Amino acid sequence: HRSEAELIHNIVQHISREVIDRTHLDVTKYPVGMHRPVEDITKLQLLDLRENDVRMVGVWGTGGIGKTTIATAVYNSIAHEFEGCSFLAKVKDSKGYKLQRTLLSDILRDRNLEVANVHKGATMIKQRLSCRKVLLVLDDVDDMDQLHKLVGACDWFGVGSRIIITTRDKQLLTAHHVNLIHEVEILDDPEALELFCWHAFKRSGPPLGDYVKLAERAIRYAQGLPLALKVLGCCLCGGSIDKWEAALDGFKSMKIQDVLKISYNALDHSVQEVFLDIACFFKGKDTKYVKDACGLNASYSIEVLIEKALISVEHSSSDYYIWMHDLLEEMGKDIVQQESPTEAGGRSRLWFHEDVKHVLTNNTGTNKITGIMLNFPKQDDEIFLDVGKSFSKMKNLKILINHNVCLSGDANSIPNNLRVLDWPGFPFQFFPPNFRPNGLVVLNLPYSRIKQLGEGLKHMKKLTSLNFTGSKFLTEIPDLSNSPNLRYLKASFCTSLVEVHPSVGYLDKLEILDFSACFELTKFPNKVGLKSLKLFFLDGCIKLESFPEIVDKMESLIELKLGGTGIEELPSSIGNLTGLKELGLHQSAIERQMQSKEKAFAFAHPTVRNISRKPRSPVVGCPSLENAS
C-alpha cells in the first residue's frame, strides 16, 4: 500500500496539472518587451490581488500594439489565484449569448450549459458567479453592449474578482466606469530590434555586416509596433541582402493595413474625414491649428481619434501638437489613393508633389478634391503654375496649403469655398474683388506681398486665425468687427503697417495679439476690452506713443511687451490687468523716464508693482535697439 503522504502528493499533482491545462494559454513565441507591462498591471495599483474588492482594468492601445499578448501573459501569471477563469478572445467577432455560454462553461466547468438568449445569459452570470472569485479577460471589445451583457457591474462577481478588458476605444472603458487603465506603449528601439531579429534571423540580434543597417531601417519603418515588426521580420526571413533592400524600399503589408483599418472603419464619416485630413496634411501640426483647420466639430472628432488610439497629442515646450504613427499615416494616404487609383484628380486630397504637379499642370482637377498641399522638393528651377487654370475645376476645395510653389496668373480663381488658406509668401498685393470665402477659418499668409486687405475680411465671419507676420507691404489692419471668433492676430515685422482699426480692441475671443517690430505703427485702438487675451506684444513699435485705455478687466492677460516703444506712460486702467505676470519695458520711453526720475512712475498701482519686468532681447532691424543688451 502507498503511504498517505504519497497519495496526497499524487492528488495535488493531478489537480495542478488539470488546473494548468485548463488555464494556461499560449502567449507568443518571442515575448520581447512583455515583462514591464505585465508587472505594471499585476503588481502596481491596477489589479493588486491583495485587495478583496472587485476590479475592472482596461488595457488600451492601437491595433497591433500587443494588447492581447499582454492580457494573455497577465492571465497566465495570475490564473491560479482564482476559483474560475475565462479568456474570451475576439469579443467583437462573436455573438453575445455564445460568449455568455463560453464564460459560464469555463468557470463552472459545465459544457452542457444552455443559454437561451442574451438577457437570460446576463441573469445567469449574475446569479451563478456573484459568490465566486473569478478572473475574466474580454479581449478586443468594441461595443458597449458587449460589456453590459458580459460584465454589467462589479456586483455580478464575488469578492476578489478581476476583469481585464482590452480595447482600442478608451471611451468604452470610461463609459463603463473602468477607471484603471493601462495604456500600451510601443516598444523602445532595443526591444524592437530584438523582436524583429527573432522573426527575421531566429536570434536576438542581427548578423554582422550589411544586415545591421538593414535591420535598423526595418525598425525605423515599424516604429515600435509589434505587429509590424513581426510581419516585416517574417517577410524578410532567409532573404538575401538584395531582397532585403528591394523589400524595404517599397514594403507594404496588407495584413498590417487590415488590422489598423478596423478602427478606421468603425468611425463615423465625419470623424473619418478628420482622420484623413490629419494623415494627409496635419500630422505634427499645432493642436489648435488642426482643430480650426478640420472644420465643424473637429474637437469632438479629435477626441474620438485619441480615444481610439489613432492619434495622440504630444507636448513640446509650450505647444501641443497632433501625432500619428507612420503606419497609420500610410494607411490614411492609401485610403485616399484608392479613391481613384489611376487619376490623382479624382481623389479627395492631394499631397504628393508628383500628383499635385500632374493635376495642376494638366488641369485634371475635379470637384472631388477637398484639400491640396503644395510642398515640392527643392529644385534649381522654380515651378510656376497659373492659378487661373490650376484651381478652376476644384469647386469644393476646402484646404489650400502652399509651402514653396510659385503660382502666377489671375488670383480671381482662388476658390471661395476655402476653410484654410495657408500660403507663406502669398504673391498677390490684393485679394480679388470677388473673393468671398464665407467659410474661411484659417488665413495664414506670412511674408506675403499683400498690401491692402480691402473688403475681403468683412465676409470672413468664421475666421479664427489671421497671420500676416513679415508682410512688409501691408499698411493697415481693417475693420474686423465681422470676425467675432478671431483668436489669433499676428502681424509682427509688418514694417509698413501704420494703422490698426479700432474694432480690434473689442474682439472678445482674441487670445494672441502680436504687432512686434511694426516700426511705422502710429494708429492703434484707443480702447481695448479683450477679455480672452493672453499675450499682447507691441515691442519694437518705435513710433507708437500711447497705450490704450483698458475698459474692463482683462484677467486672462499674462504677458505684455512694450519694450522699444515710444509709449511714455501707462493709463491708470492698467490695474484691470489683474492676471499680468510679465511686463516687458526694455528700452522703452517709460523705462527711460523711470531711470531719469529715479522713481516708480506708473508703477504705483499694486497690480503693476508686483509683476516681473524682464529685459527683452533687441529687435533685429530696429536702429534704436541694436545696441541693447
Alpha-carbon distances of 188 from 50, 64, 185, 404, rounded to whole Å: 31, 15, 9, 36
Burial 197-212 (b: 16+ CB within 10 A, else e): bbbbbeeeebeeeebe
Q: Which three cell numbers stand for residue 388?
A: 487661373
* E strand or H helix that includes residue 249: helix 241-249
Q: Which three cell numbers stand for residue 428?
A: 498677390
Residue 623: per-residue pLDDT: 35
| Pairwise CA distance, residues 109 & 209, whole Å | 55
Distance in angstroms between the alpha carbons of the first and the last residue of the chain? 99
| Pairwise CA distance, residues 173 & 141, whole Å | 10
What does the pLDDT look like over 333-385, one tens digit per residue? 999 999 999 999 999 999 999 999 899 888 899 999 999 999 888 754 466 66
Residue 524: per-residue pLDDT: 96
Residue 220, φ and ψ in degrees, nearest 5: -65, -40
Task: Give the dihedral of Cα atoms 582, 586, 590, 594; nearest 10 deg.
Answer: 100
Residue 626: per-residue pLDDT: 35
- CA 79 to chain CA centroid, Å, is 37
Assess contact for 58 and 173: CB atoms under 8 A: yes
* E strand or H helix that includes residue 87: strand 84-88
| Pairwise CA distance, residues 611 & 251, whole Å | 57
DSSP-assigned letters across all residues of 286-352 = BHHHHHHHT-TTHHHHHHHHHHTTS-EEEEETTEEEEE--HHHHHHHHHHHHTTSSS-GGGSSEE-S
Residue 615: per-residue pLDDT: 46
Residue 389: per-residue pLDDT: 73
- Measuring CA to CA, which residue among 361, 359, 333 is closest to residue 346? 359
284: alpha, beta or left, given left = phi > 0 and alpha = psi -120 to 50? left
Look up cell 514694417; give the residue.
Answer: 495
Strand pairing class (319-323; 312-316) = antiparallel
| Pairwise CA distance, residues 13 & 228, whole Å | 41
- Measuring CA to CA, which residue among 61, 304, 32 is closest to residue 185? 61
Alpha-carbon distances of 526 from 503, 506, 529, 546, rounded to whole Å: 10, 11, 11, 8
Assess contact for 467 and 443: CB atoms under 8 A: yes
Residue 14: per-residue pLDDT: 53
pTM of the model: 0.77
DSSP-assigned letters across all residues of 150-198 = HS--GGGS-TT-EEEEEES-HHHHHHTT--EEEEPPPPPHHHHHHHHHH
533: alpha, beta or left, given left = phi > 0 and alpha = psi -120 to 50? beta
Residue 602: per-residue pLDDT: 47
Averages of pLDDT over each 10 residues, the chain, 629 residues: 59 51 75 89 84 94 92 93 92 85 91 87 93 95 92 95 95 94 93 91 85 87 88 83 78 79 90 96 93 90 91 81 90 95 95 91 91 80 66 90 81 83 91 84 95 80 94 95 94 97 95 96 95 96 94 93 91 91 88 64 51 44 34
What does the pLDDT look like over 580-602, one tens digit per residue? 999 998 888 887 777 665 445 44
Residue 150: per-residue pLDDT: 95
Residue 612: per-residue pLDDT: 52
